[in-house]
Structure 1
Amino acid sequence: MGEVLNVVVAVAVIVFIVRWVTSGKETSSGPSPSAVLGFRPKNVTTEMVDTVHTMFPDIPSDNIRYDLLRTGSTQTTTNNILERGFLPAPPPAYYTLYPRAADSTPAARPTPAPSPTSSGKSKSENLIGRYHLEDRVALSSGVEVHTPEEAAGRAVWEDSAEKREASLRERKAQMILAARQYVSPIHGT
């Protein structure tokens, strides 16, 4: 019984010495990722980060990478986003190991091409230009309409499809002009 106890103590001392020697080497080359982050990080590929980022483009890549380092699974990270609505920001120590991805992300991510179904109109075009109401803006500047709902009025069912279409276009134009007059005093334009 005494010999078994001596063997167990000897093995424990050897394990302690080996751990002490190997931990001394880590501090000379820098702290280990598990010591900095507080957990043992899982392997994360850029494909994993991109997969989650394409599903949730409003979540920063650093937050996604940090959660993936903790979970190691895109499915778990996706569930975390769906349950919480966000991912917590990584701690400052994270950036010592992994430099900010936000600096390189916009340049690396191409802008999406316009869809073939879009009409090719620029986003800066407003409703006045889209419905060709520029000439009516000057004429309606003296007319006071209180709300866009009052400008729409009541529609009368017309006899033909052409008359109904023309009536709808006119009501749209009146609503756009009324909305412009209604919003202009608020914004001071």
Structure 2
Amino acid sequence: MGEVVNVLVAFAVIVFVFRWATSGKDSSADGQSPAAILGFRPKTVTQEQVDAIRAMFPDIPADNIRYDLLRTGSVQLTSNKILERGFLPAPPPPYYRVYPRAIPNDPQQQAAQNANQAAAPASTASSSKTSENLITRFHLEDRLSTSGDSTASEPEHKWEEDPSKRQAMLRERKARMVLAARERMLAQQKQQATTS
């Protein structure tokens, strides 16, 4: 019986020492943990995860991607959010206390990034010029005539193990979404023209 008590006491001491030793790593300069500052327990995010999403969606700022990955911990969930919404919300000010902004080398790049953050929630199908820009931006000019067929029967998507297949799948899904949005906008314009 005495040996069991000794083992339990030793185990409790080891757990206490481990927690004490690792608690210093999570604390920031002002003594608060990132979880206390952000309001949630952040997941581990690697630069490769941020770069993978950045390669698929170069217009989304890296801070927005990192903040969403800290919340979800999943490249797939973050990619799906971008595909569904078209943007990721900017991180709140406390995020920058834990993860300071990188100072950009190019002031024009910073101005473009700020403009993208401000314009992100705006609807992408608000005018014909915007839809033409999306068509040319994603190089979908050759698919305009077949866009009705391609969006009608969208296959079910499953997560691929190979990163290149995932990227191709997400690119195709994005193209289908752009073409479907264009069709809806043209139908809406046609309906407005017939009513007026």
Could you state the TM-score of these two structures normalised by the residue count of structure 1?
Answer: 0.41
Greater relative CO (CA pairs within 8 A, separation 6+): 2
Q: Give the TM-score of the pair, scaled to structure 2.
A: 0.40
